[in-house]
A and B are shown apart, each in its own frame.
Chain A
Amino acid sequence: MQEEDYILFDAYINGELSDDEILKFQDKMDSDLEFSSNFNLYLDTTIFLQNTIRNEDETNAFKNNLNTVSENYFNKEKTTTKIVTPKRKPFNIIKYLAAACIALLVGFFVFNQFSDPTYSDFNSHEPMTIVRSENNVKELIEATKAFNNKNYDKANSLLKKILDTDPNNSELQLYYAITNIELDNFKIADTQLNKIVVGKSVYKNRALWYSALSKLKQKDIDATIVYLKQIPEEADDFKEAQDLLDKLE
């Protein structure tokens, strides 16, 4: 009896029953409390399995990222020491000079807003934080350091090496692509980015943004616009993409 019920539940969930059978099923759901509570649990279990198994890769990527942030946070907490605030110094001419410099800088940036946007307006990359490839941990740490110190030449050759052993890691592909944009290896950069754009990883939208920046650096404004327009509203870079789009169009 129980076994037949399970087979029936599954057929109902998969939409394989005839109209007659569906009516019968729903009647039984209304009249037989045990049947309906067993079905609800079967349905919940199916949903649980579906989500857990189907989203396994994404969930693992999330857990890895979370773990990195958590480690960074708690390690920093451990090493934080009290910073002694300097005593107030008397007001002096240096402060006037500093204020004048700031005013000049602000003026410069305001002026810059009206000039044509260039790649260098946008290449303040988020620091690389990943170390989650199973192999090459040493190289990954080196690559992360090099990337964050803007030593793109070094980061590029290290990332290339790591990618050879972990070719489907889209996070690594993205950072590798960024170093290639920085080094003007546009062909490699664009190929890497395209791999991410057509894939299903969480870096898809960021890859679109960098594809646009790559084209911007190549002064191919039409292609830049095409990429920018594909960036969806929920993307982290949406606002910047819109700003850039406004300036280009």
Chain B
Amino acid sequence: MSEKKIHEDQKYIDGLLNNNSFIIEAIYQKFVPKVVNYIKQNSGDAEQAKDIIQETIVTIYNQAKEKDLKLTCPFDAYFFLLCKRKWLNELKKKKNKEVTINEELLFKDDGAQELAYETLLFGEKQDLFNEMFNKLGKACKDLIKATFKINSMEEVAKSLNISYAYARKKKSLCIGQLTKLVQESPKFNQLNY
């Protein structure tokens, strides 16, 4: 397997990771207008474009943080494809509405498709996990939150006023319950597990 070369536009990913306002502003100045135009030409308005763009940037940020995202293609193509896919998914949800889609090939395929696909999948997984986490009971949610915030199971048990052994066991079962909810969701099969 050959190592893919990291593109110089990795600076945008690193900037997002560092919460660098300059970089975020640069992304808006350079790459956002094209996305807004696309959404406006395809049954959307500026307000909807704003939401899609923000959600996309948060997904990129999360993937960078969690999976050490390395950009192997220009940011422009990658970002545009992501926003476009997200917008098309949004349109699909409102099936009853008549939509017009202007498909045109705006980029030659420089690896952006593949990377954008990975990011989309990552974002969908995160959405599913979040959705199912919220379905857990309060006791499980509290225990899981405490576990990953506090780090020491002894302290977690103390803070929740339960025994250490029970806290340990319950934590595994709560995470198990979450995996079950995820597995049982109809969305799960689309996620390449």
Q: Is the CB of A202 within 8 A of B19?
A: yes
Q: Which of B21, B22, B32, B182 has the most CB of A within 10 A?
A: B21
On whether A126 and B179 interact (CB within 8 A), knowing A40-B193, A70-B28, the answer reads no
Q: Is the CB of A74 within 8 A of B179?
A: no
Interface status of A62 (Cβ within 8 A of chain B): yes
On whether A41 and B182 interact (CB within 8 A), knowing A49-B175, A58-B19, A70-B54, the answer reads yes
Nearest CB on A from B65, distance (A): 6
Alpha-carbon distance A99/B84, docked complex (angstroms) = 48
Partner of B46, one of A55, A74, A234: A74
Interface status of B169 (Cβ within 8 A of chain A): yes
Residue of B nearest to A10 (CB): B172
Interface status of A54 (Cβ within 8 A of chain B): yes
Q: Is the CB of B53 within 8 A of A62?
A: no
Partner of B169, one of A7, A73, A236: A7
Q: Is the CB of B46 within 8 A of A45?
A: no
Alpha-carbon distance A6/B8, docked complex (angstroms) = 43
Interface status of B20 (Cβ within 8 A of chain A): yes
Q: Is the CB of B18 within 8 A of A234?
A: yes
Residues in A neighbouring B130, C-beta threshold 8 A: 52
Nearest CB on A from B165, distance (A): 11
Residues in A neighbouring B103, C-beta threshold 8 A: none
On whether A51 and B66 interact (CB within 8 A), knowing A42-B176, A202-B19, the answer reads yes
Partner of A10, one of B14, B29, B171, B183: B171
Q: Is the CB of A42 within 8 A of B179?
A: yes
Alpha-carbon distance A37/B176, docked complex (angstroms) = 13
Q: Is the CB of B172 within 8 A of A41?
A: no
Nearest CB on A from B159, distance (A): 15
Quick one: CB contact mask for B19-41 with A, threshold 8 Å, 1 for yes?
Answer: 11110110011001000100000
Interface status of B157 (Cβ within 8 A of chain A): no
Interface status of B57 (Cβ within 8 A of chain A): yes
Residues in B neighbouring A49, C-beta threshold 8 A: 129, 133, 144, 148, 175, 178
Quick one: CB contact mask for B48-81 with A, threshold 8 Å, 1 for yes?
Answer: 0010011001100110011000000000000000
Q: 30 A-B pairs, CB-CB below 8 angstroms?
A: A3-B173, A5-B176, A6-B172, A7-B172, A10-B168, A41-B193, A42-B175, A45-B178, A45-B179, A47-B66, A49-B175, A51-B62, A51-B65, A52-B129, A52-B130, A54-B149, A58-B19, A61-B19, A62-B16, A62-B19, A66-B58, A69-B28, A70-B28, A70-B50, A70-B53, A73-B28, A73-B32, A74-B50, A234-B18, A236-B22
What 6 new A-B contacts, CB under 8 Å, besides A45-B175, A234-B18? A6-B175, A6-B176, A48-B125, A61-B19, A77-B36, A236-B20
